[in-house]
Amino acid sequence: MNKLTPSYNDIHKIVKNVATKVNEYNPDVMIAISGGGLIPGRMMRTHIKKPLFTVGFQLYNEEDKIMENIKKTQWLEEQTIKEYIDGKTVLVVDEVDDTRTTLYHCIEELKKCSTPKNIIVSVTHNKLKSKKFILPEDVIYIPGEETGDQWIVYPWDVES
């Protein structure tokens, strides 16, 4: 299988480019989806000096197989939602848009528990393939680099 193996430097360049585009929308807060979105989210914070929170979803089981139902493993506290999310422009950051399952569920959860002014989604890599879910029309989507449907081995996933 053909693999894409970006370096940390590659990721920094992509995130910096995306941050320039995201800054046009002046986000008030960032949410990194834990797992893959933590490092790009922290890199984004270098360029967008706003509060950064994390949320978590489990899509894969211990055998790296997709589970039947996605599981929310970490979410925002009620006070955080009131202070930082309601009525604000929220940037959601993840490393890859593959099936779009995690991104879709994150946005659905945000809309269930809050009323953000705007939601922006930024991913480091968007795989150009059919997705399981469609993002709502009011979501602003800013991908970094577009790739084929290939396995991406991020530097933080490399096993020595």
Q: Please list the active-site residues.
A: 98
- Alpha-carbon distance 86 to 54, whole Å? 16
Give the number of other CB atoms < 10 A from CB of residue 152: 18
92's tokens: 């959601």
